[in-house]
Chain A
Amino acid sequence: MHAIEINNLSKNYGKFKALQHVTLNVEKGTIFGLLGPNGAGKTTLIKAIAGALKPNEGSVTVLGLDPLKNKWEIRKKIGYMPQTASLYGDISAKQNIRFFGKAQKVADLEKEVENILKFTELENRANDRVRNFSGGMQKRVSLACALVHHPQILFLDEPTAAVDPHLKIRTWELFRELANKGVTIFVSTHLMDEAHKCDRIAILREGILLAVDTPEQILSRGKTVITFQKNGETIQHEISSAKDAILKELQLLGLQKDINQIDIKSDDLETILLSITQGKE
């Protein structure tokens, strides 16, 4: 059984088609990244899986359950971090985390709250009102609220946007740690370094799923330019980025004495994503 199964999912806002026939599966204990330009439908997809949206067509199964029909069972098992802060500004960080923890009936709540505050490095500000927090700090509180009850599946909508590099790296270490323990993580992002850290990524544009694959496989869809200098002359060969293609090309070139410089440049993920989402592929 997959942790998440999405079958032919469509969602319309009036006449506008926010999601069109999306089908994909997510393996348990993996990190699944959702990429795509603004307005692609990432948030809509996350909400539909988390049970905050009613799809117009298709089905979603989370841990074998229907998010709308079995909502009470599912809600205990999932953690959801919305794209916007979605916190209470007039109460403290600690009170916010405690509030959502209580909803989930977390055992030994005070200890859990302390732990998560420590992890998100909010101990010093734990009792301050969230209203006065910086954008990145609010994100941390929001993440803490989604994690406090140790969910089996995490839905994170751009969790590290506006978070500083130091905490971002720590957050991804935690995600990997959680995944190793069997937690499934479904995360949307615009950041390429994060995309590289996912087990699989999906690329969405205008509500249509364009590709689902591992970052390596997506990379191999790009092109590689091999530039070499032979007798002072610069020659360029353009080939695909597939591992064996590069190997073959190099074998073909051999190690000829008169080649005195080789430069291999492969497309990076961002370039490939852009070409996919701009329909150049």
Chain B
Amino acid sequence: MQIFIIASRVLSQLKGDKRFLAISIVGPIVIIFLLKVLFDALDADLPKLPQIPVKPGMPPIQPPAITTLSFILPAAAFVIHFLCFVICAILLVQERTRGTLERMLISGFRRTSIIGGYTVGYFGLATLQSIIVVTEVLWLFKLDLSFTSIFLLFLVIWLLAIVSVMMGIFISTFARHEGHVFPFIPLLILPSIFLTGVIVSPDKLPVWAEFIGKLFPLRYANNIIKELMKPEYAMVDLIPDYLILVGYILALLFLASRTMKETE
């Protein structure tokens, strides 16, 4: 099977590049740790914040109501989302710039196998990153969740990681060199952070902004995460959001196999 030939080559490459592997594992660990430091500082600081003076008659300005619990998991999800996307996009673009993509195609590999192979290859890395990040968050922030919730949490982050890998593959098909990936980064980050529930709940946004947020997969991952944080939730309510994430994976797989160019 071509997919597995490519996937195993991708894994051997990851194994061969220990530094890269270390960075992609240590990176999220450090970011989550920094978030913990940030929240501890915020918790200590919040009561002491000076009142911001306002004109008489105006309502007082409230500090943003970000609580650790409502922020940390969406933030962790975002970290995974972003890293998987960038890593995968850059590595696939490198195949193009280094000529190995062309060589693969002329050697008889099919486009769908290349995309599938990359996805399967990064399954491993994405799974590892998801496990590590979920474990670290639960431990650092002492979240008390049931076993089912932990499993569902892991599942959503893992699916999100795969969506991100697919997005990376999809975007890379438009890029001729690494530089072409960079403009997509703010395009992905900014709406994802502001409009999908990492900072504010999307239902507080104007309709148009909420609509844009709905185009980003992080929105559906956050829906699930928010539910899981509630003391009680019904599993059936989560199913549509899980299905949408799966839908993203399939749609991106299909789109990428269409947009990947075989010839110049």
Chain A positions within 8 Å of B, measured between CB atoms, are: 47, 50-54, 68, 72, 75-76, 78, 80, 82, 84-88, 90-92, 95, 99-100, 102-104, 129, 145
Q: Out of A47, A75, A84, A129, which one reaches B16, CB within 8 Å?
A: A129
- Other than the given A52-B263, A54-B264, A91-B9, 14 more pairs (CB < 8 A) read A51-B106, A52-B102, A52-B264, A82-B99, A84-B98, A84-B99, A85-B98, A86-B103, A87-B98, A90-B17, A95-B9, A99-B9, A103-B109, A104-B107
> Which chain B residues lie closer than 8 Å to A72 at the CB level?
108
**Given A53-B264, A129-B16: A75 and B107 interface contact (C-beta under 8 Å):** yes
Determine whether B140 belongs to the interface, using a CB cutoff of 8 Å to chain A: no
Determine whether B2 belongs to the interface, using a CB cutoff of 8 Å to chain A: yes
Residue of A nearest to B5 (CB): A102
State whether A103 touches B102 (Cβ < 8 A): no
| CB of A202 to closest CB in B, whole Å | 22
State whether A80 touches B106 (Cβ < 8 A): yes
Q: Which of A68, A72, A100, A103 has the most CB of B within 10 A?
A: A103
What 0/1 readout, one digit per residue, does chain B (13-34) give for beta carbons within 8 Å of chain A?
1101100000000000000000
| CB of A154 to closest CB in B, whole Å | 12
> Which chain A residues lie closer than 8 Å to B98 at the CB level?
84-87
Contacts A/B (CB < 8 Å), 30 sampled: A47-B264, A51-B263, A53-B263, A54-B263, A75-B106, A78-B106, A80-B103, A82-B99, A82-B103, A84-B99, A85-B98, A85-B99, A86-B102, A87-B98, A87-B100, A88-B100, A90-B12, A90-B13, A90-B17, A91-B16, A95-B9, A95-B12, A99-B5, A99-B9, A100-B103, A100-B107, A103-B2, A103-B5, A104-B107, A129-B16
Find residues 98-125 in chain B having any chain A CB closer than 8 Å to their own CB. 98-100, 102-109
Q: Give the dominant DSSP class at B's interface.
A: helix
Residue of A nearest to B106 (CB): A80
CA gap between A145 and B108 in the complex, in Å: 13
> Which chain B residues lie closer than 8 Å to A50 at the CB level?
106
> Which chain A residues lie closer than 8 Å to B5 at the CB level?
99, 102-103
> Which chain B residues lie closer than 8 Å to A92 at the CB level?
16
Chain B positions within 8 Å of A, measured between CB atoms, are: 2, 5, 9, 12-14, 16-17, 98-100, 102-109, 263-264
Residue of B nearest to A82 (CB): B99
> Which chain B residues lie closer than 8 Å to A76 at the CB level?
108
| CB of B121 to closest CB in A, whole Å | 12
| CB of A13 to closest CB in B, whole Å | 8
| CB of B9 to closest CB in A, whole Å | 5
**Number of A-B residue pairs at CB separation under 8 A:** 68
State whether A75 touches B12 (Cβ < 8 A): no
Residue of A nearest to B9 (CB): A99
State whether B102 touches A88 (Cβ < 8 A): no
> Which chain B residues lie closer than 8 Å to A80 at the CB level?
103, 106-107
State whether A75 touches B102 (Cβ < 8 A): no
| CB of B16 to closest CB in A, whole Å | 3
> Which chain B residues lie closer than 8 Å to A86 at the CB level?
98-100, 102-103
CA gap between A52 and B14 in the complex, in Å: 28
**Given A100-B107, A103-B108, A104-B107: A91 and B102 interface contact (C-beta under 8 Å):** no
Q: Which of A50, A52, A76, A84 has the most CB of B within 10 A?
A: A52
CA gap between A85 and B103 in the complex, in Å: 10
Residue of B nearest to A92 (CB): B16
CA gap between A100 and B12 in the complex, in Å: 14
CA gap between A139 and B9 in the complex, in Å: 20
> Which chain A residues lie closer than 8 Å to B16 at the CB level?
90-92, 129
Residue of A nearest to B110 (CB): A72
> Which chain A residues lie closer than 8 Å to B109 at the CB level?
103
> Which chain B residues lie closer than 8 Å to A99 at the CB level?
5, 9
CA gap between A129 and B12 in the complex, in Å: 11
> Which chain A residues lie closer than 8 Å to B108 at the CB level?
72, 75-76, 103-104
Residue of A nearest to B2 (CB): A103
> Which chain A residues lie closer than 8 Å to B106 at the CB level?
50-52, 75, 78, 80
